Amino acid sequence: MDENKIDQLKKEYINIPIPMELEFTVKKSLKEGKKIMNKKIYLKRMCATAASIAIVSTVLTIGVNTNEALAETLSDVPVLGGIVKVLTFKEYKINEETYDANIKTPAIDGLDNKDLQNSLNEKYLAENKELYEQFTTDMESLKQNGGGHMGVDSGYVIKTDTDKILSVGRYVVNIVGSSSTTFKYDTIDKENEILITLPSLFKDDSYIEIISENIIKQMIEQNKADENNMYWIKELQPEIKETFEKISKDQGFYITAEGNLVISFDKYVVGPGAMGVVEFVVPTEVLSDVLVSNEYIK
Amino acid sequence: MRINSSLEKKLENYVVENKEKHYRIAYSYVKNVDDALDIVQEAIFKAIVSLDNLKNPEYIRTWFYRILINSAIDFIRKQKKIVVVDDEFISSFDCGTVDKYKDVDLYRALDELPDNYRSIIILRFFEDLKIEEVAEILDENVNTVKTRLYKSLEKLRIKINE
């Protein structure tokens, strides 16, 4: 064969210019990839825990899925009494060449407060059903318009599971062109069996200002440490009109096992997409004046 | 249960060290900076998530190339590539030397090869991989790869001679 031509082609190939963003892209991908991985590990651990709790729980889940009467009988069996846990209740799956849906619905189990348990589980089911229906509708309309790629991945992570607190985060990753990620959290006091809301932790609304101020401070510090950490705040992006000013009253949050408050923002909300979902740990001493008590936040 | 963290580290070092190579491969499929970056990103995601499947860390290169090329082919499949460059457009850039023209034709001929043929040329000649490695990456047997390689070269020459 003509070695010369191959050399010519190779030279062209080697001369493909390398864009500046490549390094950034690779590093971000590694970081985000690990986040996805951690979610998977959480899930695996969850399965292991569920399995160790005994086959009874599996039977129970199948039971709940198939037969309401059976579920009721089983829930009276005191084998698992007092163990509050999260199980995968229902899965929706679509696996076609260019369409991919993977929706896992969690269900909280073991609470004596059935009203709380049912209302959460019903909310999870309803939201995921809607997600699934939306996906199938979008998929059909895309198919009619010549096809394309679409994906949705939804599931849950147990952020915290101690004797006192259970924080469950549910995520939805939408992939149409670029991807967007949203996270929703529920935190339960396992002892008293109540749902903890963000406002319920504080004496009055002043927490909004206090937390927001602290987060903006952290954003600036992170940016100083590494300019790749970019946030949409006026201190860093004076030319942008819509900057992040303060958290909402019911901002997504969870409480860590150590008793720290973590505020979470969905992808794109406070920074460019490359930042992904961002979380800020708010130091407890900043909050001490407005906390109702130190029962959850320490 | 936990992912072997030394393996994770190895993958991390590998993708950082070889990012330019990976980018060029991706670029040669899509011919566009943004799409090539997307493909590199996608491949890294997939690699991290499926690190369990890397049985032998020695094969990290062939294993990653396979993910990368599959990502690129997937990407093209979703958006059928359009060759926007027509002859008139090219000649407006032509500085008059015959060689230049030849280059474009040669490169375009490579572009016009089916994906699985082009992959072989890129891996074998540009990335200097062994035929066996190319076969491993493309999940084909060695003889198929050899046949396709000769066919591709033949096609390239025929196109060029036209």
Torsion angle of alpha carbons B26, A173, A40, A265, nearest 10°?
110
Which tens digits make up the pLDDT trace of B14-44?
999 999 999 999 998 888 888 899 899 989 9
Q: Based on the fold, state whether residues A233 and A272 are members of the same structural domain.
A: yes
For A96-109, what is the mean pLDDT? 81
- Residue B14 contacts A where some CB pair is shorter than 8 Å: no
For B142-155, what is the mean pLDDT? 88
Domain boundary among A143, A165, A196: A196
CB pairs under 8 A between A and B: 90
B131 contacts: CB under 8 Å, gap ≥ 6: B124, B142, B145, B146, B149
Domain boundary among A196, A216, A251: A196
Predicted pLDDT at A212: 93
For A160-181, b where at least 16 C-beta lie within 10 A, e where not — what string?
bbeebbbbbbbbbbbeeeebbb
Predicted pLDDT at B25: 92
The pLDDT-based confidence of B7 (bands split at 50, 70, 90) is confident
Cβ separation A1–B153 shorter than 8 A: yes
Which range (A35-44, A97-106, A177-186) has the least confidence?
Answer: A35-44
CATH number at residue A221: 3.90.640.20
- Please tell me the distance from the alpha carbon of residue A272 to that of residue A230, in angstroms, as a whole number: 7
Longest dimension (CA), chain A: 81
Predicted pLDDT at A163: 81
- Please tell me the distance from the alpha carbon of residue B71 to that of residue B74, in angstroms, as a whole number: 5
Cβ separation A10–B41 shorter than 8 A: no
Phi, psi of A184 (to 5 degrees): -130, 140
Looking at 1.10.1740.10, 1.20.210.10, 3.40.50.450, 3.40.50.2300, the CATH number of the domain B1-81 comes to 1.10.1740.10
Residue in A18, A30, A98 nearest the CB of B20: A18
| Residue B53 CA, distance from chain mean position | 21
Which tens digits make up the pLDDT trace of A165-223?
888 888 888 776 566 778 888 888 888 888 888 988 998 989 999 999 999 999 999 98
CB A214 within 8 A of CB A188: no
Which architecture characterizes domain B83-162 according to CATH?
Orthogonal Bundle (1.10)
Predicted pLDDT at A64: 40
Two tokens at A216? Answer: 């903006």
Q: What is the ipTM of this complex?
A: 0.73
Q: Which residue has the higher pLDDT, A122 or A70?
A: A122
- Residue B122 contacts A where some CB pair is shorter than 8 Å: yes
Predicted pLDDT at A70: 37
Q: Based on the fold, state whether residues A252 and A282 are members of the same structural domain.
A: yes
So where are chain B's domains? 1-81, 83-162
Q: Based on the fold, state whether residues A126 and A159 are members of the same structural domain.
A: yes
| Closest C-alpha among B128, B125, B161, B121 to residue B145 | B121
CB A266 within 8 A of CB A183: yes
CB atoms within 10 A of CB A155: 22
Mean of the per-residue pLDDT values for chain A?
Answer: 77
Q: Based on the fold, state whether residues A233 and A253 are members of the same structural domain.
A: yes
Instruction: Tell me which chain B residues have a C-beta less than 8 angstroms from the C-beta of A45.
Output: 1
User: Taking a contact as any Cβ pair under 8 Å apart, which residues of chain A between 79 and 138 contact chain B?
Assistant: 98
Predicted pLDDT at A263: 93
Is residue A26 situated within a structural domain? Answer: no
Cβ separation B122–A12 shorter than 8 A: no
Q: Based on the fold, state whether residues A122 and A187 are members of the same structural domain.
A: yes
Picking from A2, A7, A25 by the largest number of B CB atoms within 10 A of its own CB, the best residue to mutate is: A25
Picking from B7, B42, B78, B99 by the largest number of A CB atoms within 10 A of its own CB, the best residue to mutate is: B78
- How many structural domains does chain A have? 2
Cβ separation B24–A8 shorter than 8 A: no
Q: Above pLDDT 90, what percent of chain B?
A: 20
Is residue A154 situated within a structural domain? Answer: yes
Range of the domain at A191: 84-196
Please, what sign has the CA dihedral across residues A198, A201, A207, A210? negative
Mean of the per-residue pLDDT values for chain B?
Answer: 79
- Please tell me the distance from the alpha carbon of residue A193 to that of residue A165, in angstroms, as a whole number: 10
Domain boundary among A178, A196, A214: A196
DSSP class of residue A288 equals T
For A142-155, what is the mean pLDDT? 77
Predicted pLDDT at A81: 34
Q: Based on the fold, state whether residues A138 and A224 are members of the same structural domain.
A: no
Cβ separation B110–A1 shorter than 8 A: no
pLDDT tops 80 at residue A42: no
pLDDT tops 60 at residue B158: no
The amino acid that residue B29 corresponds to is Y
pLDDT tops 70 at residue A238: yes
Q: Which residue has the higher pLDDT, A90 or B1?
A: A90
CB A260 within 8 A of CB A284: yes
Q: Based on the fold, state whether residues A188 and A96 are members of the same structural domain.
A: yes
pLDDT tops 90 at residue A282: yes
The pLDDT-based confidence of A72 (bands split at 50, 70, 90) is very low
